[in-house]
A and B are shown apart, each in its own frame.
Chain A
Amino acid sequence: MNRHLISAADLSLVDAVAILDTAEELARLAERPIPKLPTLRGRTVVNLFYEDSTRTRISFEAAAKRLSADVINFSAKGSSVAKGESLKDTALTLQAMGADAVVIRHSASGAPHRLARWIRGSVVNAGDGTHEHPTQALLDAFTMRRRLGRLDGLRVSIVGDILHSRVARSNVWLLRTLGAKVTLVAPPTLLPVAVDGWPCSVSYDLTSVLPGSDVVMMLRVQHERMSDAYFPSVREYRRRYGLDSDRMALLPDHAIVMHPGPMNRGVEIAAEVADSPRSTIVEQVTNGVAVRMAVLYLLLSGSREPDEPAVADDAELVTAGGLTGTAERWQIKP
């Protein structure tokens, strides 16, 4: 397991399965009278939230507390951030306070990468801009595995605003690693231009995709996308990409409906679908705590060399001409 959890793409199959298996064990803990373990006693976990996300913050807080860690909630509002302190200075402050792990939610893609350069502790990405949200993908995979018994070969359709979705990105990378077959479904305006290079297939037509789906994951579509001309109207979006009970009837009997929340009922998902037995939306929230416990447990409970560098391993960087260097950011090309 790496020191940080920043991108689902960084997880090997062994790591990903270890997290899911650990989460399975920890989920059983919740059934005990006192659902708490002493594992992370004396460890400090900071929830550094630059965006409002009560559900994710509470989930991480519950996870850390059930492992007996000390939890500090640091939200951008009501802190020095509002007065203009930089992420770097905030990182140095948290470092000085001895944070063992920082769970960061930030509106800027890549903020966790930056943070990992400035602190010694583990960085857990709780959603960065339009980049990734790896623990969401892990809890989604956990939920699929619990409901359907497997991930390998599972046909998963992810529907909605792929372009701006960190959930979609993390799911694409993680599900690829776990052997599932992903289909992205969206209007062409809400797909990245280079999506054909991703390890998944793409469709513009939800209706034709549903009969071959074991899982359909609906993403929240934001109203402001309409003003940027990504689609003409909410009505048209719902007609073409919304999941109502007529469309749900096209799914195989065993198929499940997922949503990372928060939902726009009546837009991407009809109320009767959200509340149907196929829906795993509430389970996803429950499972989120177990998965986040597993992540914190695996990142923090192992032994660590005190002199390990704080810098995350970068991808190999070389110039267009294959030019190489020896300094930190210029690694030698074989």
Chain B
Amino acid sequence: MSAASSGRRSSAPRDRGRWLIRGARPLGGPPADIQIDGAVITGIAASGHDGRELAAGAGVTVLDASGLIALPGLVDLHTHLREPGREDAETVASGTAAAALGGYTAVHAMANTEPAADTAGVVEQVWRLGRQAGYCDVCPVGAVTAGLQGSQLAELGAMADSAARVRVFSDDGRCVSDATLMRRALEYVKAFDGVIAQHAQEPRLTQGAQVNEGEMSARLGLAGWPAVAEEAIIARDCLLAAHVGSALHICHVSTAGSVEIIRWAKSKGWLVTAEVTPHHLLLTDELAASYDPVYKVNPPLRTAADVAALRAGLADGTIDCVATDHAPHPAESKETEWSEAASGMTGLETALRVVHEAMVSTGLLDWASVADRMSVRPATIGRLSCIAAGQQDMRHGCPIAPGSPANLVFYDTEPIRPVDPSAHASRSRNSPFAGLKLPGQVIATFLRGTPTVLDGGLAS
């Protein structure tokens, strides 16, 4: 299966049907053979020479995955696919291809498209485009407010009842800053087990904000984005969620203070979950000294102390999951002055490698915990862990065990290579990791038994 080793190539033409994947290490544990029949895992047994290993029968494609880590297919709670409206930056097809190459089998497509995903019609369109592309499940996120304008609730129930079965709602890119509107949204989605994902940014404290407010903003003469603008909204929303007994999810937590507040809210037993992006786990605001807008993102890159607190929060479970905030932009949106440039970074194709570097290589997480933070928990938050929609089994984040849908990623921990955005499947090239040597490579991804990635490239 490794592109570098012909011995690992499949022994028969690939086929949707029956697979026997030999020697991979589920969750980094002992090697095992995994049998897939149709869309489902039908068998798993320890690899070895004691005669108990699974045998390949007729019509079974055998893959040698010795040494690779097997994880449940990754789930991203925070992806910008840009379609409809900004197909020059990304399409559902290109964005989900990028996702598959990053090991994802499900992505949540944020609502800030043009038009915004604030009606059943738009979310169904995005959902349908995802089905057509076939690289991974696309779960549209519905806008909380009509047109993301922050003044009136969008038709949340209609989106929930649509074919897209929306459960996560967010005005991401903008904060639902009106406290009453936020309270109502939190209450309203209880009727269909929804969750509000808040982009925590107090708007008055961040007018014109460009970089983390601190030493770097002072020196660079760029308007500061203070940590308190994030933390104040998180604190308020945790209290609101507690007051009305609703589920709150915090997008892209970026400060040490936010981690503290979320830890406190969780200690109270409140229904609060949170995500952190790969870039906030690895990069700091010092990169802004180049004034290269590839490092411009919202919320901004913070300090090394924040990075340490985010890593610790992810390690101890205060932060539930990693979400990419994959935000593709065309070159002209980044080849400008810093203050003119668009905010955002691509991330789908590098997320697992960055988590490997920031969390696994540092000893903060083992591979079982990576599966928890990048698949199990985001699937739970996105209400994907237990649903069965129509004839299709839409579950994600399931154990690697018989009966689970065959959503799997096989990851080689060995290679260390510089990130090359020009080789990415995403239509955009705005990766802040360009040139950075990162470990690891996704070798194969399976979506319900169908390979979307094989030998490290898209399966045709």
Contact = CB atoms under 8 A, between A and B. Distances in A.
Interface of A: 86-88, 106, 108-111, 113-114, 128-132, 166, 169, 192-195, 197-198, 314-315, 317, 319-321, 323-330
21 contacts: A87-B337, A106-B337, A108-B339, A109-B220, A109-B222, A114-B337, A129-B221, A129-B339, A130-B223, A132-B221, A193-B217, A193-B218, A194-B217, A194-B219, A195-B218, A198-B218, A317-B290, A320-B282, A326-B435, A329-B434, A330-B437
Contacts of A317: 286-287, 289-290
B418 A88 contact: no
A1 B212 CA distance: 32
Interface in B258-298: 282-284, 286-287, 289-292
Given A323-B282, A329-B435, A192 B339 contact: no
Interface centre among B210, B217, B337 (most CB of A within 10 A): B337
B337 A108 contact: yes
Contact of B437 (A106, A320, A324): A324
A330 B436 contact: yes
B138 to A, nearest CB: 31
A106 B226 CA distance: 25
Q: Which 4 A-B pairs rank lowest in CB-CB distance, beginning with the nearest?
A: A327-B435, A110-B291, A131-B221, A192-B218
Contact of B221 (A86, A88, A130): A130
B181 interface: no
Contacts of A106: 337
B284 A320 contact: yes
B224 to A, nearest CB: 7
B438 to A, nearest CB: 8
Contacts of B215: 194, 197
Contacts of B50: none
B335 interface: yes
A45 to B, nearest CB: 22
B458 interface: no
B357 interface: yes
Nearest to B207: A228
A193 B357 contact: no
A236 to B, nearest CB: 23
A194 B283 contact: no
B224 A109 contact: no
Nearest to A193: B213
A129 B340 CA distance: 12
Nearest to A109: B221
Contact of B340 (A108, A130, A198, A326): A108
Contact of B214 (A113, A131, A193, A321): A193
A54 B249 CA distance: 52
A4 to B, nearest CB: 13
A114 B334 CA distance: 11
Interface residues of B, number: 40
Contacts of B214: 193-194
Interface centre among A106, A109, A315, A320 (most CB of B within 10 A): A320
Contact of A321 (B220, B337, B362): B362
B284 A110 contact: no
Contacts of B340: 108
Given A317-B290, A323-B436, A329-B290, A86 B222 contact: no
B358 interface: yes
A118 to B, nearest CB: 9
A317 B216 CA distance: 13
A53 to B, nearest CB: 16
Nearest to B439: A323
Nearest to A132: B221
Contacts of A195: 218
Contacts of A324: 437
B332 interface: yes
A270 B202 CA distance: 39
Nearest to A329: B435
Given A108-B337, A325-B437, 17 more contacts: A87-B336, A88-B336, A109-B210, A114-B291, A114-B338, A128-B221, A129-B339, A130-B223, A131-B221, A193-B226, A194-B217, A320-B304, A321-B307, A326-B418, A327-B418, A327-B435, A330-B435
B435 to A, nearest CB: 2
Contacts of B290: 113, 314-315, 317, 329
Contacts of A87: 336-337
Nearest to B339: A108
Contacts of A88: 335-336
Interface in B221-244: 221-224, 226
B308 interface: yes
B357 A329 contact: no
A18 B290 CA distance: 27
Contact of B282 (A111, A315, A319, A328): A319
A88 B307 CA distance: 33
Contact of A108 (B218, B219, B224, B338): B338
B282 A321 contact: yes
A169 B307 CA distance: 28
B218 A194 contact: yes
Contacts of B339: 108-110, 129
A198 B221 CA distance: 13
Contacts of B336: 86-88, 114
Given A192-B217, A323-B436, A111 B304 contact: no
Contacts of B286: 315, 317
Nearest to A111: B337
Nearest to B340: A108
Contacts of A132: 221
Contacts of A108: 337-340
A319 B434 CA distance: 13
B338 A109 contact: yes
Contacts of A326: 418, 435, 437
Interface in B142-162: none
Interface string B356-374: 0110001000000000000
Nearest to A86: B336
Given A193-B226, A320-B304, A328 B435 contact: yes
Contact of A109 (B284, B291, B418): B291
A113 B282 CA distance: 24
Contacts of A323: 282, 357, 436-437
A110 B220 CA distance: 8
Nearest to B286: A317
B435 A86 contact: no
Contacts of A320: 282-284, 304, 307-308
B289 A314 contact: yes
A324 B289 CA distance: 17
A18 B282 CA distance: 41
Nearest to B307: A320
A192 B304 CA distance: 20
B304 A86 contact: no
Nearest to B214: A194
A321 B357 contact: yes
A328 B294 CA distance: 14
